[in-house]
Amino acid sequence: MSAGALINAVWDLYARIKEKPLWLLISEMTPEELVSCIDFTDLHDALTKSEAFDILKKQESSRKVRMNALIKRGYPAYTTSTGWFGYSEDRIRSLTREAIAKGWSAFKIKVGKDTELNKRRSLLIREEIGYSKKLMMDANQCWEKDEAVNQIEALAPFDPWWIEEPIHPDDILGHRYVREKVAPVKIATGEHCHNRVMFKQFLLSHAIDVCQIDSCRVAGVNEILSIMLMAAKYQIPVCPHAGGVGLCEYVQHLSMIDYMCISGTMENRIIEYVDHLHEHFVDPVIIRQARYMPPTNPGYSVKIKEQSCKDYTFSTGKIWN
């Protein structure tokens, strides 16, 4: 994560110098330039330099068409803000109704150890959104392997698109075990994967259905490029983890780079959105009809407000007093 902070900062500065948002800067790079950004050490059994080049070259000629589509329509998003633990059932219902009125069609709820509570919350939100809209569930690593299988089987009637982090995030073989047992329910993970080799192992062992990169967990944009290319080779959709601590502002660029340069599609791809804490940023993300609109400011297109930096600086900020 320390490496990611430094490398992301360098990319941010580079894009600011070029006066382009990061997603656009990288989307205008040639396949040769993009491949030169990637360290293929320890990846050759999953992705070679020539394979990466071929993936990028395949998408190069149609970038302009996708650029127009992205600028016009944005990138699809889902909301996590209606289904947090601790919310009353009435609040979940009201927040869900408000989200539907704003155009949201994909929702995520938290699930945990209590099977009956999981089922009741899942039924509640399905009553509000119906079965035409997408529902994802996030277990935040709280189950053991067989417990995960039992819990997911109990939740399967509510038609979850995916179950996120069902078990310990480092347990690659455990994820494969759970995935094989609960198919066709999809298994998603990746927000706690700390390097490209771990993602390689998840992909080679067929342990996940959805690759959830995190913009700050691994060593920055360069390593993210290698992970997205591996996911494209193995036809696993990339649906980033995000949140209201600046991650939404970061990952929008990464999904747009994936669409423009690597996967060439938004099908079965979506970015998480959480609606809190954006008030601390200058020019936060723009959401229209449940879609991220491409940012236009240079770099990562956002910075923390000076007052927020002052207030939250440890240990002199007023928050700490």
Q: What amino acid positions are annotated as catalytic residues? A: 110, 241
267: number of Cβ within 10 Å: 8
User: Identity (one letter) of the amino acid at 178?
Assistant: V
Say how far apart CA 84 and CA 87 lie, in whole Å: 6
Say how far apart CA 188 and CA 46 lie, in whole Å: 20
Question: Is the separation of the CB atoms in 100 and 130 below 8 Å?
Answer: no
Say how far apart CA 213 and CA 226 lie, in whole Å: 11
